[in-house]
A and B are shown apart, each in its own frame.
Chain A
Amino acid sequence: MTTTTELSATTLLRFATAGSVDDGKSTLVGRLLHDSKSVLADQLEAVERASASRGQEGPDLALLTDGLRAEREQGITIDVAYRYFATPRRRFILADTPGHVQYTRNMVTGASTAELTVILVDARNGVVEQTRRHAAIAALLRVPHVVLAVNKMDLVDYQESVFAEIAEEFTAYATELGVPEVTAIPISALEGDNVVEPSAHMDWYGGPTVLEHLETVPVSHDLAHCHARLPVQYVIRPQTTEHPDYRGYAGQIAAGSFRVGDRVTVLPSGRTTKVSGIDLLGEPVDVAWTPQSVTLLLEDDIDISRGDLIVPSKDAPPTIQDIEATVCHVADLPLTVGHRVLLKHGTRTVKAIVKDIPSRLTLDDLSLHPHPGQLVANDIGRVKIRTAEPLPVDSYADSRRTGSFILIDPSDGTTLTAGMVGESFATPEPVKDEADDDGWDF
């Protein structure tokens, strides 16, 4: 029984990796999986068998992570894959994003749910264009924790000066982008230095190993500074003899916390009432917080349906029809001015039109290309969107859940674009202090 209880008490960390093709990302992922005993005997055997049938001398660990027929045939990684491993302290969901041509949309996808991103660089090359691109995406997506893993330290004689220079350059760049926290770790994924075990070659480094850092980085949110938000997913009305009058508003708390007795407003209608009860999956509770899935019971019988947002009356977001956002275009078909789309925000999907594309961002040097006319796959840019109905949106800087949206092609349902409401670092004149003060609450 102790085993169960101890293991159940662990928390969950979602993180993503970013690195270009030869930075050793597969080796790092392979080592994390292998050293945490998440690669089991039959999986290793399968990799050895497959490697041997290809005439390779040793087991090719990339075969562990490249799962699809086409990927193995071509030796490339097509898409984001999710991997799982655990230590006694924590369980991990790793979004393993490929470093190939379509990196931007894949990294955006992986980073959207991540609380931490590991960016790999090759110690011999230092901070390169690709590194800056990865840092920019992490900043844009507001991933709370960024780890810089300076890999292949074995190939630079484990020199402190090499690491220090790279760490300093990267941290300065990331800070300028508004990344709140950078942890730089010198590693050799191949030799195992500072990945799971502390390195015997780098006495000068006193920080954590990659795994130690993953195990200890805080994952719960600072609820005191969060706007409480509940997008209504589904109205629960049993209409049974046992529960003739039960009417509950089910949803996952997107941010902050709700307590019985809170005065709340329902958007977009603006009607106000009080929380009379909270059911946490069948159990009544006094208080509930993100990311719990709950059912709110309200004092007054007002008209509420899927797509509405329940918020504290003292802290309601504006409801607007003109949204300005930073987007990453993820579909092969371009996004153009005048494009009629569907916009999904929280639990609500509304018609919308792309009114303007003021700029496209060049990630390499963060320069802005004005009025590009369209965004193609992997482009990041600013867009202005008019929605058919008013939406209660937060700034993405305040709330990742209620400040994000996707655009959908109404003709075939394709997911076109990922959007983040409000300012990004890419605004023409970013105000540094404000970005710092905004914090990273979500």
Chain B
Amino acid sequence: MTTVAGIQGGTDSSPYALSHLDALESEAVHIFREVAGEFENPVILFSGGKDSILMLHLALKAFAPAPVPFALLHVDTGHNFPEVLEYRDRTVAKHNLRLHVASVQDYIDRGVLKERPDGTRNPLQTLPLTEKIQSERFDAVFGGGRRDEEKARAKERVFSLRDEFSQWDPRRQRPELWQLYNGRHAPGEHVRVFPLSNWTELDVWQYIAREGIELPEIYFAHERDVFQRGGMWLTAGEWGGPKDGETVERRLVRYRTVGDMSCTGAVDSDAVTLEQVITEIAASRLTERGATRADDKLSEAAMEDRKREGYF
């Protein structure tokens, strides 16, 4: 038996107890390395939002000093925030990564997808995403989904098998035992991998603050032209707002999530630093999605239904 002199574990006051952020970080890194070891052609879904930025940061640490052995995949709705696209391209260049883009606008231009009457493009992402996975033969697709986001996601596995149509079947999920992740899949199938499954929104922000990770500036309070629709402040722009009866106001806002401009709402905020953002979130009585996502309010099972079809 090997013992190390001076190490006495057993209580939280022990220097060998990990903080919750260290434990979550270690678990996520373990998941990244499992995928690197077991799959041929993994890819990281990267939207330029905080969760995907955090995933990339963890991947960089997991393989240091070697480069990240994965490419990035962005599903571009055509209604992205310009600040986020700028951040995306700068990040790809900085780390010398490969970027794949699946474009919703292309599908609309080709007549394969039709614009929805409500103008939201979020549900339209599923087809470009799943076709890109098939055409590039990605066998593992990292997503930044967290179980705390939504009740259907609370049922999601870390390794989630998808069939050749990218469908999620909650009744046929593999039990996940210990840290023994099962990534076996048939040709044409792939596995969605969620290294941030056990993180909460607050964990994400605390870790970003601890690590000093740079974010797109729309996460911090700034003045913006917005208008109200469905109880949310949406950014005015060429994508389709405001319409008749909707009026533009200039307000001090920030974003809690980053997505399609047509369905991602801003929140009133004067938080300009990470510490202020964390204080604001810790005190918030609304969940991230409840506060800022129009598409999840469409029905009681909106997220589950989209996930079943192949959404992440």
User: Among residues 153 to 175 in chain B, which have CB atoms less than 8 Å away from a CB atom of chain A?
Assistant: 153-155, 161, 170-171, 173-175
| Contact indicator A234/B175 (Cβ below 8 Å) | no
- Residues on the B chain within 8 Å of A66, using CB: 151
A236 and B66 contact, Cβ closer than 8 Å, known pairs A41-B285, A81-B155, A252-B29: yes
- Residues on the B chain within 8 Å of A347, using CB: 34, 37
For B, the interface residue count at a CB cutoff of 8 angstroms equals 82
User: Among residues 125 to 154 in chain B, which have CB atoms less than 8 Å away from a CB atom of chain A?
Assistant: 147-148, 150-154
Instruction: Give the distance to chain B from A439, nearest Cβ to Cβ, in Å.
Output: 12
| Contact indicator A292/B304 (Cβ below 8 Å) | no
- Greatest chain B CB density within 10 A among A224, A238, A239 is at A224
B176 within 8 A of A: yes
Chain A binder among B2-10, B215-223, B242-250: B2-10
A12 within 8 A of B: yes
| Contact indicator A12/B180 (Cβ below 8 Å) | no
**Looking at the complex, which one of B170, B185, B274 makes contact with A78 (CB distance below 8 Å)?**
B170
Cα–Cα distance between A351 and B182 once the two chains are bound (Å)? 15
User: Among residues 171 to 194 in chain B, which have CB atoms less than 8 Å away from a CB atom of chain A?
Assistant: 171, 173-180, 182, 184-186
| Contact indicator A83/B154 (Cβ below 8 Å) | yes
- Residues on the A chain within 8 Å of B19, using CB: 8-12
| Contact indicator B37/A91 (Cβ below 8 Å) | no
A302 within 8 A of B: no
B198 within 8 A of A: yes
A414 and B174 contact, Cβ closer than 8 Å, known pairs A84-B198, A281-B62, A292-B26: yes
User: Among residues 254 to 302 in chain B, which have CB atoms less than 8 Å away from a CB atom of chain A?
Assistant: 274-275, 278-279, 282, 284-287, 290-291, 300-301
**Looking at the complex, which one of B9, B151, B285 makes contact with A223 (CB distance below 8 Å)?**
B9
| Contact indicator A234/B29 (Cβ below 8 Å) | no
Mask of B42-63 contacts with A, CB within 8 angstroms, 1/0: 0000000000000000000111
A42 within 8 A of B: yes
| Contact indicator A67/B155 (Cβ below 8 Å) | yes
**Looking at the complex, which one of B1, B18, B180 makes contact with A344 (CB distance below 8 Å)?**
B180
Chain B binder among A124-132, A352-360, A399-407: A399-407
**Looking at the complex, which one of A81, A228, A282 makes contact with B2 (CB distance below 8 Å)?**
A228
| Contact indicator B1/A315 (Cβ below 8 Å) | yes
Mask of A301-339 contacts with B, CB within 8 angstroms, 1/0: 000001000001011000000000000001000000000
User: Among residues 236 to 283 in chain A, which have CB atoms less than 8 Å away from a CB atom of chain B?
Assistant: 236-240, 242-243, 246, 250-252, 256-257, 259, 262, 279, 281-282
Cα–Cα distance between A7 and B209 once the two chains are bound (Å)? 12
The residue in chain A whose Cβ has the minimal distance to the Cβ of B299 is A69
A12 and B2 contact, Cβ closer than 8 Å, known pairs A82-B154, A234-B37: no
| Contact indicator B155/A3 (Cβ below 8 Å) | no
B95 within 8 A of A: no
Mask of B194-235 contacts with A, CB within 8 angstroms, 1/0: 000110101100100110000000000000000000000000
The residue in chain B whose Cβ has the minimal distance to the Cβ of A2 is B275
A289 within 8 A of B: yes
A211 within 8 A of B: no
| Contact indicator B2/A291 (Cβ below 8 Å) | no
| Contact indicator A406/B279 (Cβ below 8 Å) | no
B117 within 8 A of A: no
A112 and B33 contact, Cβ closer than 8 Å, known pairs A82-B198, A91-B203: no
The 8 closest A-B pairs by CB, nearest first: A413-B184, A42-B290, A67-B151, A312-B2, A220-B17, A238-B66, A12-B20, A293-B29
